[in-house]
Structure 1
Amino acid sequence: MTTRISRAELARRIAADIPEGSYVNLGIGAPTLVANFLPDDQEIVLHTENGLLGMGGAPDDGFVDPDLINAGKQAVTALAGAAYFHHADSFAMMRGGHLDVCVLGAFQVAENGDLANWSTGEPGAIPAVGGAMDLAIGAKAVYVMTDLLTKQGESKLVAACSYPLTGVGCVSRVYTDHAVFDVTPDGFAVREAFGDTTVDDLRALTGLALADATAEEH
């Protein structure tokens, strides 16, 4: 029986890997949870593509500013020294390589680092790529936060993406509810397995020849 961790625990794990001084964009959905676990004693500046640098966490009840939202239309706060700017300037930051880290969700990640996270290609599906393509190519490090398996039990880590691509060879590391995987020139390497989960368990779940890099962590 493999061990799974919660999304909150996974968000905490990702937050621990973000270096101090980083400029970071957190994608829509689960990645926004990472903001709740960034250490107070470090300067990590959050960016949102709708035009805010220096974004804080969610406001307390009764202190919501309806004009202050992130790209997912969730209410947020602005930290001291925060800056507001035009949407085009925000995308120029993303495309110009000024973000150190972005954290994105995914439908699939391929062994070579290809990312598919905006469409499953289903007929009638609503395109919603947003800024994902700009972030995937523009950020210096791309972290993916996702469940390892779909609701149907299929692996989101694949030999090659079957869904429309967001970015080619762009993913640095994948954080899942079962384990953390690095993307290497030779494919996925298991950086950390959670709880009782073993590398062999992960190979069975994904059907991939995963390298074992867990020894390097000890």
Structure 2
Amino acid sequence: MAWTRDQMAARAARELQDGFYVNLGIGIPTLVSNFIPEGMSVQLQSENGMLGMGPFPYEGEEDPDLINAGKQTITELPTTSYFSSSDSFAMIRGGHIDLSILGAMQVAENGDLANWMIPGKMVKGMGGAMDLVAGVRKVVVVMEHVARAKDGSESPKLLKACDLPLTGTQVVDMVITDLGVFTIDKKGHGGMSLIELADGVTEEEVRSKTEAQYRVALKNT
């Protein structure tokens, strides 16, 4: 067994705190908006110039005029404000965003992040990822634990060192996968620690699918 995408998003939502300004990446991180605890005030910010996003819309309820930086449809709130992307990046680069929750292709045991391109494949650019990991106070990555090829083979995404082009070096504080939760002491010498296991997952399974070195520091949840 392993966590579903919704369960991973719900676990990521536990990192939110009242009064936080938060930026959500595309993919699984977008789902976090559906799991903000009731009564908690969190302002969601988007690089394309929006502050105060509501829950991710259900199918049939989308407004094509309301999109985030990844061109996904989103919802607004009565308190939502709109502004230029230059103002949005000033918020990010100025250190005014408390938490960013991003997807990733690879994360290294020292906190290096690769989440924007695979060599040989056409990409539109890095977008705001480089600014987010450099300017945000805490970075949480939410991703599948392994990459699955078309032939069914699997390869680890938690590595000793990333071999894809980096988004940032020593920038990731926490990684949430479908198998568990890791923290990274990105500036010290503590390295990567496994602190939680997903339902029905064993530490042996995690170790068999992880190249990165980590210590086991499981907490009672």
Give the TM-score of the pair, scaled to structure 1.
0.92
Deviation string, structure 1 residues 40-79 (Cα, Å, up to 9, x no partner): 3100110011100011123466654332211122222221
Structure 1 equivalent of residue 216 of structure 2: 212
Of 44, 47, 62, the residue aligned with 2:45 is 47
The answer to whether structure 1 residue 202 and structure 2 residue 206 are counterparts is yes
Gaps of 5+ in 2: none
- Root-mean-square deviation (Å): 1.7
Shift of 1:32: 0.2
Tell whether 2:106 aligns with 1:108.
Answer: yes
Q: 1:62 to 1:158 in 2, by over 3 A?
A: closer
Once structures 1 and 2 are overlaid, which stretch shifts more, 203-212 or 37-46?
203-212
Contact 2:109 2:214 (8 Å CA) reproduced: no
Q: Aligned pair 1:142/2:139, yes or no?
A: yes
Q: 2:8 is paired with a residue of what secondary structure?
A: helix
Q: Which residue of 1 aligns with 2:129?
A: 132
Pick which of 156-165 and 53-62 moved more. 53-62
The answer (yes or no) to whether the contact 1:199–1:210 under 8 Å persists in 2 is: no
Q: 1 CA distance for matches of 2:60 and 2:109?
A: 46
Could you tell me how far apart the structure 2 residues matched to 1:148 and 1:39 are?
A: 26
Q: Is residue 43–residue 52 contact of structure 2 (8 Å, CA) maintained in 1?
A: yes
Partner letter of residue 197 of structure 1?
A: V
105-114 vs 16-25, greater mean Cα deviation: 16-25
Deviation string for 1:110-161 (max 9, x for gaps)?
011000000122x243243111111111110000000000003111000001
Extract structure 1 runs of 4+ deviating beyond 6 A. none
Q: CA deviation at 1:11?
A: 0.5
Q: How does 1:36-75 map to 2 (within 5 A)?
A: 36-59=34-57, 64-75=62-73
| Shift in CA distance, 14/60, structure 1 to aligned 2, threshold 3 Å | closer
